[in-house]
Amino acid sequence: MSTLRFKVVEEAYGRKAVAVDIPKDRPSDYFGMYVFNRTQMYRYLDHKTYDALVDAIDNKKSLSRELANNVAKGMKVWAMDNGARHYSHWFHPLTDGTAEKHDGFIEHDGKGGVIEEFDGKLLVQQEPDASSFPNGGIRNTFEARGYSAWDISSPAFIIDHTLCIPTIFIAYTGESLDYKTPLLRALNAVDKAGTAVAQFFDENVKHVISYLGWEQEYFLVDKALYAARPDLVMTGRTLMGHESAKNQQLEDHYFGSIPSRVEAFMLDLEIECHKLGIPAKTRHNEVAPNQFELAPIFEETNLANDHNLLLMSLIAEVANKHNFQVLLHEKPFAGVNGSGKHNNWSLGTDTGAMLFSPGKTPKDNLQFMTFLANVMAAVNKHNGLLKASISSATNEHRLGANEAPPAIISMFLGRQVSEVIEKLISTDDDTINFASKEGLKLKNVTQIPELLVDNTDRNRTSPFAFTGNRFEFRAIGSSANCASAMIALNAVVADQLFSFKANVDAKIAAGEIKEKAIIEEVRKLFIENQQIHFDGNGYSDEWKEEAARRGLDCEASVPKIFDAYTTPESIDLFKRIGVFTEVELVARNEVKWEIYAKKLQIESRVLGDLAMNHVIPVATRYQSLLLDNVMKIKEIFGSDDDQMAEQEKETIRRIASHMVAIKEGVIKMVNDRKSANVLESEREKAIAYHDIIKPDMDNIRYHIDKLELMVDNEMWPLPKYRELLFIR
Q: Which residue is nearest to ligand ADP (CB)?
A: 213
Give the interface segment with ligand ADP, choosing from 128-136, 293-301, 430-438, 570-578 (CB under 6 A).
Answer: 293-301
Out of 120, 182, 213, 477, point to the residue binding ligand ADP (CB under 6 A).
213
Longest Cα pair distance anywhere in the chain, in angstroms?
105
What is the C-alpha radius of gyration for the chain, rounded to an integer number of angstroms? 29
Distance CA 381, CA 421 (A): 19
Question: What number of other Cβ atoms are within 10 A of residue 549's Cβ?
Answer: 10
* Nearest residue to 17 via CA among 273, 193, 261, 280: 261
Out of 354, 508, 556, 583, point to the residue binding ligand ADP (CB under 6 A).
354
469 binds, among ligand ADP, Mg ion, none (CB under 5 to 8 A by kind): ligand ADP
Question: What number of other Cβ atoms are within 10 A of residue 609's Cβ?
Answer: 14
Distance CA 186, CA 182 (A): 6
Out of 40, 346, 365, 570, point to the residue binding ligand ADP (CB under 6 A).
346
Question: Partners of 347 in the beta sheet?
Answer: 210
286 binds, among ligand ADP, Mg ion, none (CB under 5 to 8 A by kind): none
Distance CA 558, CA 547 (A): 18
**Smaller CB separation from Mg ion, 215 or 708:** 215
Query: Taking the complex as a whole, how short is the minimal distance between the CB of residue 674 and ligand ADP, in angstroms?
Result: 45
Residues belonging to the chain = 728
Does 464 participate in binding ligand ADP (rule CB under 6 A)? no
529 binds, among ligand ADP, Mg ion, none (CB under 5 to 8 A by kind): none
* Nearest residue to 592 via CA among 674, 684, 475, 683: 683
CA 576 to chain centre: 27
* Nearest residue to 151 via CA among 168, 172, 163: 168
Does 215 participate in binding ligand ADP (rule CB under 6 A)? yes
Does 296 participate in binding ligand ADP (rule CB under 6 A)? yes
Does 455 participate in binding ligand ADP (rule CB under 6 A)? no
470 binds, among ligand ADP, Mg ion, none (CB under 5 to 8 A by kind): ligand ADP
Distance CA 66, CA 554 (A): 54
346 binds, among ligand ADP, Mg ion, none (CB under 5 to 8 A by kind): ligand ADP
Give the amino acid at 199. Q
Distance CA 180, CA 166 (A): 9
Give the interface segment with ligand ADP, choosing from 132-140, 225-233, 291-299, 424-432 (CB under 6 A).
Answer: 291-299
Distance CA 382, CA 572 (A): 12
Out of 282, 320, 537, 713, point to the residue binding ligand ADP (CB under 6 A).
282
Question: Partners of 294 in the beta sheet?
Answer: 216, 283
Query: Taking the complex as a whole, how short is the minimal distance between the CB of residue 294 and ligand ADP, in angstroms?
Result: 9
Distance CA 136, CA 589 (A): 7
* Cα dist from 477 to 332, 485, 494, whole Å: 12, 10, 24
Give the interface segment with ligand ADP, choosing from 58-66, 116-124, 296-304, 310-318 (CB under 6 A).
Answer: 296-304
**Smaller CB separation from Mg ion, 154 or 344:** 344
Q: Going residue by residue from 204 to 223, which x/- string records binding to Mg ion, judged by CB under 5 A?
A: -----------x--------
Out of 34, 78, 179, 211, point to the residue binding ligand ADP (CB under 6 A).
211
- 3 state SS of 614: helix
Out of 177, 196, 295, 606, point to the residue binding ligand ADP (CB under 6 A).
295
Which residues in 685-724 contact ligand ADP (CB under 6 A)?
Answer: none
Distance CA 97, CA 479 (A): 9
Q: Looking at beta carbons, which pairs linking 500-508 to residues 24 or more positions away fall under 8 Å?
A: 500/197, 500/370, 500/374, 500/525, 501/193, 501/196, 501/197, 501/200, 504/200
239 binds, among Mg ion, ligand ADP, none (CB under 5 to 8 A by kind): none
Does 472 participate in binding Mg ion (rule CB under 5 A)? no
Distance CA 149, CA 485 (A): 23
Burial of 501 (0-12, 13-18, 19+ CB in 10 A): buried
**Smaller CB separation from Mg ion, 100 or 299:** 299
**Smaller CB separation from Mg ion, 460 or 653:** 460
**Smaller CB separation from ligand ADP, 263 or 555:** 263
Q: How many residues bind Mg ion (CB under 5 A)?
A: 1
Give the amino acid at 681. S
298 binds, among Mg ion, ligand ADP, none (CB under 5 to 8 A by kind): ligand ADP
Question: Partners of 147 in the beta sheet?
Answer: 170
Query: Taking the complex as a whole, how short is the minimal distance between the CB of residue 342 and Mg ion, in angstroms?
Result: 7
- Helix ranges, 31-81 (H): 38-44, 47-58, 65-81
**Smaller CB separation from ligand ADP, 287 or 597:** 287
Distance CA 142, CA 128 (A): 14
**Smaller CB separation from ligand ADP, 197 or 652:** 197
Question: Partners of 327 in the beta sheet?
Answer: 219
**Smaller CB separation from ligand ADP, 148 or 154:** 154
Query: Taking the complex as a whole, how short is the minimal distance between the CB of residue 352 and ligand ADP, in angstroms?
Result: 12
Out of 153, 323, 418, 469, point to the residue binding ligand ADP (CB under 6 A).
469
CB 91 within 8 A of CB 178: yes
Out of 17, 297, 425, 502, point to the residue binding ligand ADP (CB under 6 A).
297
Distance CA 61, CA 203 (A): 22
Query: Taking the complex as a whole, how short is the minimal distance between the CB of residue 304 and Mg ion, in angstroms?
Result: 15
Query: Taking the complex as a whole, how short is the minimal distance between the CB of residue 68 and Mg ion, in angstroms?
Result: 40
Q: Which residue is nearest to Mg ion (CB)?
A: 215
**Smaller CB separation from Mg ion, 342 or 533:** 342
Helix H or strand E segment including 110 = none
Which residues in 315-344 contact ligand ADP (CB under 6 A)?
Answer: 344
**Smaller CB separation from ligand ADP, 179 or 473:** 473
Q: Looking at beta carbons, which pairs linking 49-52 to residues 24 or more positions away fall under 8 Å?
A: 49/74
Distance CA 71, CA 50 (A): 8
Which residues in 559-618 contact ligand ADP (CB under 6 A)?
Answer: none
100 binds, among Mg ion, ligand ADP, none (CB under 5 to 8 A by kind): none
**Smaller CB separation from ligand ADP, 241 or 358:** 358
CB 175 within 8 A of CB 583: yes
211 binds, among ligand ADP, Mg ion, none (CB under 5 to 8 A by kind): ligand ADP
625 binds, among ligand ADP, Mg ion, none (CB under 5 to 8 A by kind): none
CA 435 to chain centre: 35
324 binds, among ligand ADP, Mg ion, none (CB under 5 to 8 A by kind): none
Site of interaction with ligand ADP (CB under 6 A)? 211, 213, 215, 282, 295-298, 344-346, 354, 469-470
Site of interaction with Mg ion (CB under 5 A)? 215
